[in-house]
Structure 1
């Protein structure tokens, strides 16, 4: 009974956040000063002087229907919600008309998941391992050095690392290509090696900055937990240091890190916007940038709506799994 009550409350919150987020995504692009339909008509008429007003008006009506801009704001909103919820259709893209937005997202999403998903998990594993060691062995010189490096790295934006890596390993030491080249087709080990080789620099810029945060947070958590009475009691019982860390320190410090990992996995659907632009990486971040730059309503709404669904879904899954990860948490 408690579980059903807990599940219902979380599902209500989940649905409310989804609706609120989708409403914001629908309204914000419409506050932009540019009109995508008029911009597209302007491009067409500039290339052809033979179009009469009747043809332009008919085309304007067709484009408004395709972009969901026909009718009042309320009618547009209801049409948008129906399309997204029931058919997952965001309409055609302005920048690549008449290609559907969902096809563009489907082509770009694997690249973003591959880059940000792998780099996020690697930085989480490395950062938490170093942070756990630095927190427990706080008096050791190497722990202080590792923590100091993390503190210096964390405030630096990832795109600064990206620019530094480009200057070092593409200009000064031309080891990697300046701009990523993913002109591959089909699955083969050569294509896989090409993708990995072109993804190393953008991945490294994300891993370095991400590791800094995980080291700092895990160091603080493990250091505080290591000073708790139950940990001191475990050592007094004669348990080995490995058992003390594995049974008492790690389980009590890893929960907040798992929550943050789940949230970060949800946000990777946004893409690493500046990194993808700098390295010419064909991910979701590049799509968002293109949509904002050219006032592509459907592309903006499609990419950000996917991100909203991802973040809220991962948060819901973590909430439901918490009692299984930590028995002290109950469905209240």
Structure 2
């Protein structure tokens, strides 16, 4: 029953996301066709504009366009990109792997670094080192992603010359050289998103760890003579990390949003850079497809968390509620 309710919630969210995705171009001021083909200074006559509207189906009623949008979506057809003159699905398929690699690696690093650093800060709470760590993490967490990226470019690309500052690879690279190029050009964008995402895991782990350290079973473990390392890792961190796991899905969404700016800073050919270019070019079909892919990705991570969290915490039951005692 719980799974059915959860599935119903996801279906409702999906419907709302698709509906909002459809409505965005229609809510924008002005005629989208005029914007797409030169703005107010375009030289097309009204007959040509009407023909273009008919080719995009914009001459039909909103209800007909909505039904057609859902029909195309169910058949894997998101329309044609005006900017690239290609299928939106093909354009997204070319760019999506780059963003998945960037956000996936950054999320994993932010989770590991933030969790371990937060646990260490909670274990050392009240010391000067813990205070300095909290201040440093809060300072980095308050900085916007593009500013972090610019600082890293200034230090590691311009001053030291260690890493390239733009693109994902070179045209002539192949084989092992291609892998080296991809890895070297991914370092700074990954570092930027990792720094931007570590703060959330750090603060959540630290707060959860401090609460766990006050539990009676921690005092009991110490009374049994267990070493401090075993108490910290096997008893405290193991239970403190459970609430942090739910933060993982929220961080994926935040990093995916931050990738729009970060990829633009580094000219990284991913979904974020594609969204930025589509906005400047007013490529509405491509924007709709990109936003839909991003929404589905965030929903998939939330669904994965819902399905796997009961495996980590036996107290969470997926079956029907227990009956009250007679």
Q: TM-score, normalised by structure 1?
A: 0.87
In 2, the alpha carbon distance for the partners of 1:283 and 1:157 equals 19
1:180 equivalent to 2:167? Answer: yes
* Cα gap change, 1:56 to 1:29, in 2 (>3 Å): closer
2:64 is aligned, of 45, 69, 75, to 75
Q: Map 1:149-160 to 2 at 5 A.
A: 149-160=136-147
What stretches of structure 2 of length at least 5 have no aligned partner? Answer: 322-326
- Asked whether the 8 Å contact 2:200–2:251 carries over to 1, the reply is no
**Structure 1 residues 274, 54: closer, same or farther in 2, change over 3 A?**
closer
Residue in 2 aligned with 1:204?
191
Structure 2 equivalent of residue 15 of structure 1:
11
Name the CA distance, whole Å, in 1 between partners of 2:47 and 2:284.
25
Stretches of structure 1 that go unaligned for 5 or more consecutive residues are: none
Q: Tell me the equivalent position of 2:324.
A: none
Aligned pairs for 1:281-296 (under 5 A) are: 281-296=268-283
**2:90 paired residue among 103, 124, 129:** 103
CA offsets, 1:85-142, max 9 Å, x none? x222110011112x01111111111111111210111111011111111111224443
> 224, 247, 261: which one pairs with 2:234?
247
1:55 positional shift: 5.7
Whether contact under 8 Å (2:168, 2:269) holds in the other structure is: no
- Deviation at residue 40 of structure 1 after TM alignment: 4.1
Q: Please give the residue correspondences for 1:253-268 in structure 2 after superposition, counting only pairs within 5 Å.
A: 253-266=240-253, 268=255
CA–CA separation in structure 2 for the residues paired with 1:55 and 1:216: 57
Secondary structure of the residue aligned to 1:281 is coil
TM-score, normalised to structure 2's length?
0.88
- Using a 3 Å threshold, how does the CA distance of structure 1 residues 231 and 18 change in structure 2: closer, same or farther? same
For the pair 1:93 / 2:90, whether they are aligned, the reply is no
Shift in CA distance, 264/192, structure 1 to aligned 2, threshold 3 Å: same
Q: Deviations over 1:302-326 (max 9, x none)?
A: 1111111121222122112222110
